[in-house]
Amino acid sequence: MTPADAAPEAQGRAASEVAAWIRRARAGDEQAFGLLVEQHERMVLRTALRLLGRLDQAQDAAQDVFLRLHKYLGRFDESRELGPWLYRVVVNACHDLARRRPPGREVPFDELREAEHPGLRLGPEGIEDAVSQAEQRRLVDEALSTLPAKERAVIVLRDIEGLATAEVARILGTSEGTVRSQACTARLKIKAFIEAGRASLAERRTR
Amino acid sequence: MSCERYERELALHVEGDLPPRDASRLARHLEGCPHCRGFLSALEVSQRGVKALAAEPLDDSALVAVRAGLLAAVRERPAPARTTSVWGRALAAARWHRPLGAAVAVVVAALALGLFLWTGQEGRRRAHVEAPATVAQGAGDGRGTPALAADVSTSVRHEPGSTQRAPADERTRHSTARGPRRVSGDRAVEAEQAITALSPEDADQLARAIVVLSTIRRLSDAEKPPPAEPTLAGQVVLATSDPNVVIYWQLASNGG
């Protein structure tokens, strides 16, 4: 993970300092464990929120992540970076939570094509002006929620968290080629969803 | 001309994921294809929306809820890497509440002031009242002998230096007697001034000490019956950022 790609919280702390906290926490120092939590809680909760889309579930997932950290501290090699390990645990915890909740609607890609809204193909900047920021924000959230779990994880880690493709591949236990393919498909879906949503909003306004 | 095959390349190119060789070929195509340029612009707009999520701040209250739930869960579960030390638990709890430190410090300072005033008026009734606090200035001849109250006592001692002591401090060094004492009006004022002059960091430290002592007291009360006589159960010495101010907290379980 390059410095530019690292989570903001991780940038402020030297790896040696975090490793020292891990050693102390493993030896039973709860204050050191508290520091580890404090250092990574924003990254964990933010990622969980983007993966699950609901704050209450994201908080459950974040607690689960730190409980797993607490449980496995004794086996954690402090020479490894904690950030990527936590990202992996966040993805797994959110996957477990998502399996236990009712499935959301995954919109087939064909439904999202621009052909669904002929005659409303405004230029991207023109549409952007027409749709308020709040609506844009909602559309992005909804677009993310329609993605399959693996594509969503790739978008959250690569495009929102800003991790490198190779790092995302390591976290998700897959190849860089697969990450690129999933990112490509997901970006096209998001674009199509947002454009369809904007067109729909613009259509309602012109009536 | 159908450019659909370029759409996937554009979706990689928009985030710099396209290999350089393919990126050069795509750039040449974009020069002569308005459709793909428009497609790329639309992709850039949607990606801006996605990436804007990274800049959205998280509410601190959401994190506090996570910490609270986590702390409760960690306490409930047995873990090999976890200390069972009461001090460890209390300090960790205090540490996790650091974002609220300023607010807690204000409350603590207000409580401390209230207790000072109360003890100044009701010192003789302390032994019969639940959880009283006494503040005395001048803790005797060393850190190990601060004043002891029936339940919780706080001692604020000015230490201008081991070899030099101001006359005003000499005036208050006689207070070595153990047991409940009434705080004189002058001392209460001086102690009040010392507490209110604490920096936010020191006030935060004081707040943490109270968390520690409260935890010890709660656990001590739960684990054993109260003794007939006051018994020392804990002591905290706070070295503040002001070298002239040292704060002692002592805890004794109260049999009354």
Segment A92-100 mean pLDDT: 88
Question: What is the ipTM for the molecules in this complex?
Answer: 0.78
Q: What is the pLDDT of residues A4-19, one digit of tens each?
A: 334 445 445 677 788 8
Contacts of A122 in chain B (CB under 8 A): none
**Residue labelled with tokens 């005797």:** B140
Size of interface A-B (CB pairs under 8 A): 142
When scoring B36, B50, B87 by the number of chain A Cβ atoms within 10 A, the one with the most, hence best to mutate, is B50
Contacts of A157 in chain B (CB under 8 A): none
pLDDT at A71: 86
CA nearest to A74 within chain B: B81
pLDDT higher than 70, residue A50: yes
Cα dihedral angle (B88, B89, B94, B99), rounded to 10 degrees?
110
pLDDT higher than 80, residue A105: no
Residue B150, phi then psi, degrees to nearest 5:
-65, -35
pLDDT at A58: 92
Distance to chain B for A169, nearest Cα, Å: 13
**Three-state secondary-structure class, residue A103:** coil
pLDDT higher than 60, residue A3: no
Query: How many CA within 13 A on the CB side of residue B118?
Result: 13
> What is the amino acid identity at position B236?
V
Beta-bridged to residue B234, according to DSSP, are: B251
A100 versus A194: the higher-pLDDT residue is: A194
pLDDT higher than 80, residue A91: yes
Angle at A166 between CA A165 and CA A167, to 5 degrees: 90
Dihedral sign, Cα of residue A31, residue A37, residue A40, residue A41: negative
Lowest mean pLDDT of A81-85, A111-115, B91-95, name the range. A111-115
DSSP B12-52: HHTTT-S-HHHHHHHHHHHHT-HHHHHHHHHHHHHHHHHHH
CA nearest to B17 within chain A: A180
Query: What whole-number percentage of chain A has pLDDT above 70?
Result: 79
* Cα B172 to Cα B137: distance, rounded to the nearest angstrom: 7
Select from B225, B248, B52, B239 the least CA-distant residue to B146: B248
Residues in chain B with pLDDT values less than 50? 1, 79-88, 90-92, 94-99, 101, 123-184, 225-232, 252-256
pLDDT at B123: 47
pLDDT at B159: 41
pLDDT at A165: 95
Tokens coding A86: 């936590």
pLDDT higher than 50, residue A98: yes
From edge to edge, which strands make up the β-sheet containing B133-137? B133-137, B152-158, B245-253, B231-239
Q: How far is CA B39 from CA A59, B10, B11, B147, B150, in A?
A: 37, 8, 9, 78, 78
Task: Annotate B213-222 with b (16+ C-beta within 10 A) or e (fewer).
Answer: bebbbeebee
Segment A102-116 mean pLDDT: 47
pTM of the model: 0.56
Distance from CA of residue B24 to its chain's centroid? 56
Count the residues in chain A.
Answer: 207
Give the closest of A26, A31, A191 to B91, CB-based.
A31
pLDDT at B196: 58
pLDDT at A192: 94
Q: What is the pLDDT of residues B24-52, one digit of tens each?
A: 999 999 999 999 999 999 999 999 999 99
Segment A112-140 mean pLDDT: 58
Tokens coding B24: 């050069």
B180 versus A102: the higher-pLDDT residue is: A102
Query: What whole-number percentage of chain A has pLDDT above 90?
Result: 45
B88 versus A90: the higher-pLDDT residue is: A90
Beta-bridged to residue B235, according to DSSP, are: B250
A79 versus B110: the higher-pLDDT residue is: A79
* Cα B47 to Cα A190: distance, rounded to the nearest angstrom: 8
pLDDT higher than 90, residue A88: yes
- Residues 6 or more apart in contact with residue A58 via CB below 8 angstroms: A45, A48, A49, A51, A52, A94
pLDDT at B222: 56
